[in-house]
Amino acid sequence: MKFTTLLLLLFSFSIDAFSQQFAISGKITDEGNHPISFASVYVKNTTKGVSANSEGVYALQLAPGKYELQFKAVGYGQQIKQITLAQNQVINISLKTETYQLKDITIHAGGEDPAYAIIRKAIKKRKTYLNEVKAYTCDIYIKGLQKLLAAPKKFMGFDVQKATSEAGLDSSRTGIVYLSESESKYSFMQPDLVHEVQVSSKVSGYNRAFSFNRASDMLVNFYQNFESWKRLSNRPLVSPIAENALFYYNYKLIGATIENGETINKIQVTPKRGYDPCFEGYIYILDDSWRIASLQLFITKKANINYVDTLKISQQFYPVDARVWMPATIKFEFTGGVFGFKLGGYFISVYKNYNLAPVLNKKDFAERINITKGHDKDSVYWAQERPIPLTDEEKKDYEVKGKLAIKRESKPYLDSLDKANNTFKLSNLLLTGIDTRNRYKKEYFHYSSVLNSVLYNTVEGLALNYGVGFTKMIDTVDNRFIAINARVRYGFGNHLFGGVAGVSLPVKQMTLSFNAGSDVTDLNNLQPVSAFVNSVYTLFRRENFQKLYQKQFASASFAGRISGGWQASAYVEWANRKWLPNTTDYSFFKKNNRQFTSNNPLLPAQDVPLFPENQSFKISARTSYDFSNRYETYPFGRRYLPSKYPTIGINYTKGISGVLGSDVDYDQLSADISKSDIDLGFYGQTSFFIGAGKFINADNIYFPDYKHFDGDQTHVYKPSFNRFLLLDYYNFSTADKYLEGHLEHNFSGFITNKIPVLRNLKLQEIINVNYLSTPTLKNYTELGFGIQRGLVRVMYGRSYNTGSNIKNALRVGISL
């Protein structure tokens, strides 16, 4: 027994000795003893390595043995150090600025810089390196940090000083506002399949939060012709070795140096035109193989980027095997500011453990990203695993905000926060509405503002449509809610009182909803003109576009995702419907003695009923499929990704007579195909919608049951790529067959960015074509041209109806 115990002890000791690791740490500086931020430290001929932090400090854990370490930073000569590791060691390194020597090449006046010959060879090899690796896996560590560099004490009445103090920033309103680390396992398969699993994450100030650091967001590939960063730039950003890069860039050879037996050429790249979506900086190209060894590029707001003033990108590659180089580190640094707020920060990713011949299953790539696990790793784990040491400032931020996070989760704190925020103010009730919440119970109440609830139309006169809502989260994992809402409506002109109440319940991936009440609603079920816009036109321009009727109803719906890209919904409704006459002709101005039209859109000069009072019982169903099963998984559930293919949909509605006194009898079948934001690279994005339908049976049908279209007759509208610019709201609704089509293209500044006066406005050029054909409206066509800036667009439209009935109009679109 003693001998067995001794053997176990010896075996245990041998395992501990074998698995024991020691730390190599130190600081990397330049010749002036200034720290070199984010320099790389790698074991030569391996992918085992770390990065220094922003202060040049590094730490590398290795088992005992002999190693050859490479210390590298873009723009500096590498240093190789041989060590024998038997205990913790401190090794400080000083890197010298790399000297690049120009070869003995004579450049004649007006002659081409030798950089162009190198770049042409790199461009020729671009596709080879783009498709060189058919599949791979690796481990990726990402660290993100954002700092508030300056802020006003108050902004538009908001107490910035108080908010920053509660968030753990210092009294000068500066400090770290976001600090997060994450580790992911990443898989790639040509041509563009990726799968990422976040195995651990840490977010300063949030004990239960997951990090939004995503490896797929960090990866850039300059072997591609361009990078599409739609939030940062309306236009794709051109790679310095793109197929047509010579049209966009100037190149200058700075010189060459030899590193690990490889000749590396340093080439300066500058845009030919300052306003083009191009980078500036340096790209390092290997001789003979003509691949990218590293790069230091930046882009500024003069290239019309959004949100930031300057974005810097640094990328280093290393050989994973004898022929393949892969990214070692990628770093984004940014600065920006607006309205007195200044922000700066960085995101850096470190790559290791590449496998260039993995066994992968294409089915696994249906899930693009999985961020559901690994949020409970302790400080000991992170001290061992993080390849970039924390600075003192970052350590303090984790400590201080960790304590704040515990406090924020306590019931007394949440109650005190609710008590402070759930205050009744008459001004809020009148102007903005009131929101109250119980954070601990995850309950939310909303009371509409009185101002937004007041409307005016010729049917009701002055009217009040006031609503309240209640929401309760019942599942924090899948982010599922119960929602209850109710509103009351009263017309002071026709003295008609109504109200509607509804409830929505989650049922697995579906939502079950019930609604009932009495309402005054639009004859066009698409509600193309809002109550607010109609009120303004009625009171100020004496134009009553909206046509209304009374509906007393009860309905139920069931909608959601069946599987992957397949969605479906079903709807059943019983309703008593009554046409309503105008009750007032009041307006602020009597514009040229203009008369209001009647509430009958087909007979605007006669105030006669459009349809008799009737009862309707109908059922409808829709199913759609977008040919994509790809999704992302988060702690709050799945988010499905749009397909690169169009979405097809089929709808069927049946009005059934005799059920609960129903008078209607009709069958309508329709289908549609659509796709938004089709990326055309430098030329922008295209969207389209094509729909067709027919009433197979229309034995007994009333105007609210017609097929209606999303038209516009006012100067202000809500943009949508399947909406008409000039079409009448009601006159061309049909109870027969129809065909409609919409095509919209956004040039994303392709034209206006070439015009000096306009380019700083960051305008996007829009063109659209709309088409409609019904038995009574044949070949109705609209052409629209305009510009967009942010959420606002201005369009000029021109309509044609079989060569006649030409109309012109200007429209202002506001996306809210």
Whether residue 69 is found in the same domain as residue 156 = no
Whether residue 583 is found in the same domain as residue 458 = yes
* Spatial separation of the C-alpha atoms in residues 638 and 43, rounded to whole Å: 39
Q: What is the mean pLDDT of residues 650-675?
A: 97
Choosing from 663, 688, 705, the residue where a domain stops is: 663
Amino acid at 525: N
Kindly state the percentage of the chain with pLDDT values over 90.
Answer: 60
Contacts of 351 (CB under 8 A, 6+ apart): 47, 138, 139, 140, 326, 327, 328, 329, 330
Whether residue 436 is found in the same domain as residue 585 = no
Mean pLDDT of the chain: 89
Q: Looking up tokens 């061309």, which residue turns up?
A: 732
Residue 105 lies in a domain: no
Whether residue 606 is found in the same domain as residue 497 = yes
> What pLDDT was estimated at residue 135?
95
Q: Looking up tokens 């040039």, which residue turns up?
A: 747
Instruction: Check: CB of residue 772 under 8 Å from CB of residue 800.
Output: no
User: Rounded to the nearest 10 degrees, how much is the dihedral formed by the CA atoms of 588, 593, 594, 598?
Assistant: 90
Domain of 746 in residue numbering reads as 675-816
Per-residue pLDDT of 350-374, as tens digits, reads 999 999 999 998 888 999 998 876 5
Residue 147 lies in a domain: yes
Residue 391 CB neighbours (<10 A): 14
Q: What is the mean pLDDT of residues 101-119?
A: 79
Tokens coding 173: 């309103």
Q: Confidence class of residue 476 from pLDDT cuts 50, 70 and 90?
A: low
Stronger pLDDT, 464 or 172, i.e. the higher one: 464
Does position 397 have pLDDT exceeding 80, yes or no?
yes
Q: What is the mean pLDDT of residues 487-506?
A: 96
Q: What is the mean pLDDT of residues 669-683?
A: 92
Does position 208 have pLDDT exceeding 80, yes or no?
no
Residue 108 lies in a domain: no
Residue 286 lies in a domain: yes
Whether residue 417 is found in the same domain as residue 297 = no
Whether residue 572 is found in the same domain as residue 659 = yes
Q: Confidence class of residue 18 from pLDDT cuts 50, 70 and 90?
A: very low
* Spatial separation of the C-alpha atoms in residues 748 and 683, rounded to whole Å: 7
* Spatial separation of the C-alpha atoms in residues 721 and 804, rounded to whole Å: 25
* Spatial separation of the C-alpha atoms in residues 26 and 60, rounded to whole Å: 9
Residue 107 lies in a domain: no
Stronger pLDDT, 229 or 522, i.e. the higher one: 522
Q: Which of 127-131, 198-202, 684-688 has the lowest mean pLDDT?
A: 198-202
DSSP state of 414: H
Per-residue pLDDT of 524-569, as tens digits, reads 999 999 999 999 999 999 999 999 999 999 999 999 999 888 999 9
Q: What is the mean pLDDT of residues 468-486?
A: 84
Q: What is the mean pLDDT of residues 609-615?
A: 96
Does position 782 have pLDDT exceeding 90, yes or no?
yes
pTM of the model: 0.86
Q: Confidence class of residue 375 from pLDDT cuts 50, 70 and 90?
A: low
Q: What is the mean pLDDT of residues 386-410?
A: 85
Residue 152 lies in a domain: yes
Choosing from 630, 663, 696, the residue where a domain stops is: 663
Instruction: Check: CB of residue 349 under 8 Å from CB of residue 218.
Output: yes
| Angle formed by the axes of helices 411-421 and 392-408, nearest 10° | 80
Contacts of 606 (CB under 8 A, 6+ apart): 598, 600
* Spatial separation of the C-alpha atoms in residues 798 and 722, rounded to whole Å: 16
Residue 121 lies in a domain: no
> What pLDDT was estimated at residue 16?
40
Report the CATH number at residue 42.
2.60.40.1120
Instruction: Check: CB of residue 780 under 8 Å from CB of residue 771.
Output: yes
Kindly state the percentage of the chain with pLDDT values over 70.
Answer: 94
Whether residue 357 is found in the same domain as residue 387 = yes
Q: Among residues 574, 652, 654, which one has the least CA distance to residue 614?
A: 574
> What pLDDT was estimated at residue 261?
86
Contacts of 496 (CB under 8 A, 6+ apart): 460, 490, 520, 550, 580
Whether residue 474 is found in the same domain as residue 612 = yes
Helix residue ranges, H only, 340-492: 379-385, 392-408, 411-421, 426-431, 450-453
Stronger pLDDT, 23 or 377, i.e. the higher one: 23
3-state DSSP assignment of residue 416? helix
Stronger pLDDT, 480 or 2, i.e. the higher one: 480
Tokens coding 545: 């576009």
* Spatial separation of the C-alpha atoms in residues 36 and 28, rounded to whole Å: 6
Whether residue 403 is found in the same domain as residue 426 = no
Q: What is the mean pLDDT of residues 75-100?
A: 90
**Residue-wise DSSP of 224-241:** SSEE--TTT-SSPEEPTT
Choosing from 94, 117, 139, the residue where a domain stops is: 94
- Distances from the Cα of 392 to the Cαs of 142, 333, 559, 687, in angstroms? 19, 20, 52, 50
3-state DSSP assignment of residue 796? strand
* Spatial separation of the C-alpha atoms in residues 49 and 70, rounded to whole Å: 9
> Is the link from the previous residue into 191 a cis peptide, with omega within 30 of 0?
yes
> What pLDDT was estimated at residue 374?
57
Q: What is the mean pLDDT of residues 210-236?
A: 84
Whether residue 403 is found in the same domain as residue 415 = no
Whether residue 702 is found in the same domain as residue 788 = yes
Task: Domain count for the chain, please give it.
Answer: 5
Q: Confidence class of residue 804 from pLDDT cuts 50, 70 and 90?
A: low
Does position 419 have pLDDT exceeding 70, yes or no?
yes
Instruction: Check: CB of residue 379 under 8 Å from CB of residue 390.
Output: no
Whether residue 136 is found in the same domain as residue 279 = yes
> What pLDDT was estimated at residue 371?
84
> What pLDDT was estimated at residue 402?
82
* Spatial separation of the C-alpha atoms in residues 729 and 519, rounded to whole Å: 20
Tokens coding 33: 């003893």
> What pLDDT was estimated at residue 17?
38
Does position 676 have pLDDT exceeding 50, yes or no?
yes
Q: What is the mean pLDDT of residues 174-202?
A: 91
Per-residue pLDDT of 296-324, as tens digits, reads 999 988 888 888 889 999 999 999 988 89
Q: Confidence class of residue 210 from pLDDT cuts 50, 70 and 90?
A: low
Residue 698 lies in a domain: yes
